[in-house]
Amino acid sequence: MSIPATPTAAAAAVLDDASLDVMFREARSANSFSAEPVDAETLQAIYDLAKFGPTAMNTSPLRIAFVTTAEGKARLLPHIFEHNQTKATQAPVVAILAVDTEFHEQIPTLFPHAPERKALFEDPEFRIPSANFNAGLQMGYFIMAVRALGLAAGPVGGFDTAGVDSEFFADRPWQSKLLVNIGKPGENPWFDRLPRLDYATATLTF
């Protein structure tokens, strides 16, 4: 499978300061959203960036439901904890980030040179933690992809996952893990930046 290749120029480039601000330093979780819509092409563009992030054996277990219509919002909102409902109502799109608990069915597509690896994941005791771990990485890539396209992301963990799953995923083995409000920030969208752990607390060097 190893293909000789010259590292691309892109692989050696460092992002400029403005881009580092967009992605990390100035990026914030928006708590309000403007009415400006987010079109279907942009949602696909978010996916088409986030999908490239690495996962173990390319298993890519993240699945996404984009809730964009008034009808969809009406189905979603009752499952969101009350203090999170206003921002989900405002946001033009709420993405339900979910894990495909049967992701191994896609291994022949995703790992075509070794489709037999699917058998490694028959046991749910191994498969489900792997799904959760790798989908978690992908949720990080997803939030970064939203920001890369100039939109604010507002991750929300306060919702009834079982309620969302039975409302939206009754016909498929997807389990919701995180909501992400997506749009342009509205009025007073940011809280104060909270502290982060200093380098000496969060890291060791050997």
Give residues 106-165 in contact with a second copy (rule: CB under 8 A).
Answer: 106, 109-112, 132-133, 136-141, 143-145, 148-150, 152-153, 155, 157
- The site that binds a second copy (CB under 8 A) totals a number of residues, namely 96
Nearest C-alpha neighbor of 152 from the set 193, 183, 189: 183
Q: How far is the CB of 185 from a second copy (least distance, A)?
A: 5
Q: Which of residues 23-42 bind a second copy (CB under 8 A)?
A: 23-29, 31, 40
Given the complex with a second copy, which of 17 and 122 has the nearer CB atom?
17
Encoded one letter per residue, x for contact with a second copy by CB under 8 A and - for no contact, window 6-25 reads -xx-xxxxxxx-xxxxxxxx
Q: How many CA atoms lie within 13 A of 198 on its CB side?
A: 1
**Residue corresponding to tokens 């100035």:** 26
- Please compute Rg for the chain using Cα positions: 19
Applying CB under 8 A, does 166 fall inside the site for a second copy?
A: no
Q: What are phi and psi of 152, to 5 degrees?
A: -90, 140
Q: How far is the CB of 169 from a second copy (least distance, A)?
A: 8
Given the complex with a second copy, which of 82 and 113 has the nearer CB atom?
113
| Six token digits for residue 73 | 């919002």
Q: Which of residues 45-84 bind a second copy (CB under 8 A)?
A: 47-54, 56, 58, 60, 62-69, 71-72, 75-76
Q: How far is the CB of 173 from a second copy (least distance, A)?
A: 13
| Six token digits for residue 185 | 């920030």
Applying CB under 8 A, does 175 fall inside the site for a second copy?
A: no
Which positions ≥6 away from 80 have C-beta within 8 Å?
88, 156, 158, 159, 160, 179
Applying CB under 8 A, does 188 fall inside the site for a second copy?
A: yes
Under 8 Å between Cβ of 101 and 128: yes
Distance CA 30, CA 38 (A): 15
